[in-house]
Structure 1
Amino acid sequence: MLDPNRTALLVMDYQEGIVGQLPGTGPLLDRVAGVVDDVRGRGGHVGWVRVAFEDTEFDAIPETSMFAPIAASADLRAAMHADAPGTQIHPKFAPHADDVQVRKIRVGAFSTTDLAAQLEKRGITTLVLAGLSTSGVVLSTVREAMDRDYRIVVLRDACGDRDQATHDFLTGTVFPRTATVVDVAGLGDLWDVQ
């Protein structure tokens, strides 16, 4: 069962520019907004993860990186800059000042952020993951979180990917090996009711 005091919902890459790349995101955004409210209402923690770059970080991207095309294009650099509208948390959501908030420059939520330190400071041992995309930030973060010994819950219908078959394979076959995979509606059954 999930202890709200030791659980954090991580809403990953739900930013304007990424949400805009997926079709029909209205119901997805509604589900995520609902689960944010539910976690807050239970006394759980909420964290926001976004990908964006400062000028010096663009300059340090190796040519072998998947982000190399961004660094090489003035238009993409502008779109992915830390101050750009497309890199901000989607306006459907309103992060609170006391939420965990990190900006990353890699795919996963941990390697280029102080996320682990922020979670440790709050005593978090369980992560509930919602993210775009399933084959990007969600996959990378599941693997990193597993290596860091977190209990992991993936919200299948709070994740999305441009390739539905990939999303289905990851949430149906790969993630269940190391995580609990449920729909948003099923999360309520996992909370510790005392």
Structure 2
Amino acid sequence: MASSALLVMDVQRDIVAMADDGSGYLPRLRRAIDGARLVDIPVIYVVIGLRPGAPEVSPRNKVLTNIVRAGLFTEGAPGTEIHQDVAPRQGDVVVTKRRGSAFSGSDLDLVLRARDVDSLVLTGIATSAAVLSTLWHAVDLDFGLTVLADACLDTDPEVHRVLTEKLFPQWADVLTVEDWLKAIAPR
């Protein structure tokens, strides 16, 4: 029997401030988190965090170099905190990553294997960054995958649509939060 975990990726204060479009994203994500907890699916939070001075960022990494210049994602800075509307509970695992994928530079694979998790439910910001990178990495690690399309968010709605409607269905089940909650509801 498959053992699942819900990944809540990069829903940090600064990222939410940049991406939230007022469409009710955080309440939908909260419903997914609450639904997972109701049926004992572990909720694992993933945050991007860079050490002060960003020694792990190469000047060849265009994306992260720009992030460092903007002063974003330094571990311990207030903007790197998980948004209070979806904050972890006591005992929830919070994994810190150093790149786009939740697996890159983190101990996520170790945490999942220790819990015998073989299936992931992906949520987060941004669809074109954390979600896409993590999905590809998880495919290579042979995880079963579900993407909650409306619990993912991107600053470009068209990119989000293309990924969730055309690309992701090749490797994952793509559902809405409501459809997923119905599927996991106790019978």
Give the match for residue 151 of structure 1.
144
Task: Work out whether residues 22 and 162 of structure 1, in 8 Å CA contact, stay in contact via their aligned partners in 2.
Answer: yes
Describe the SS at the equivalent of 1:68: helix
2:133 paired residue among 120, 126, 140: 140
Distance 1:106 1:22 in 2: 18
Percent identity of equivalent pairs: 34
Which of 8, 17, 37 is residue 14 of structure 2 equivalent to?
17
Partners of 2:161 and 2:86 in 1: CA distance: 26
Task: Could you tell me which runs of 5 or more consecutive residues in structure 1 were left unpaired when the two chains were aligned.
Answer: none
1:51 and 2:44 correspond: no
What is the letter of the counterpart of residue 106 of structure 1?
R
- The Cα shift of 1:180 comes to 0.2
**What residue in structure 2 maps to residue 104 of structure 1?**
97
Q: Deviations over 1:35-74 (max 9, x none)?
A: 1011001111000011111125x13311110211233x3x
Q: Distance in 2 between matches of 1:188 and 1:168?
A: 21
Deviations 1:86-143 (A, max 9, x none): 1110011231232221111101100210000001111111110111000000000000
| DSSP 3-state at the match of 2:96 | strand
Say if 2:63 is the partner of 1:63: no
Q: Give the Cα separation in 1 of the matches to 2:122 and 2:96.
A: 16
Out of 72, 79, 85, the residue aligned to residue 86 of structure 1 is 79
- Aligned match of 1:165: 158
TM-score normalised by structure 2 residue count: 0.93
SS in 1 for 2:8: strand
Q: Is the 8 A contact 2:122 2:145 kept in 1?
A: yes
Q: Which amino acid aligns with 1:143?
A: W
Measured in 2, the distance between the counterparts of 1:98 and 1:190 equals 26
Moved over 2 A (4+): 23-26, 188-194
SS in 2 for 1:152: strand
Aligned residues: 186
Give the gaps of 5 or more residues in structure 2: none
Q: What RMSD, in angstroms, separates the aligned Cα atoms of the two structures? A: 1.7
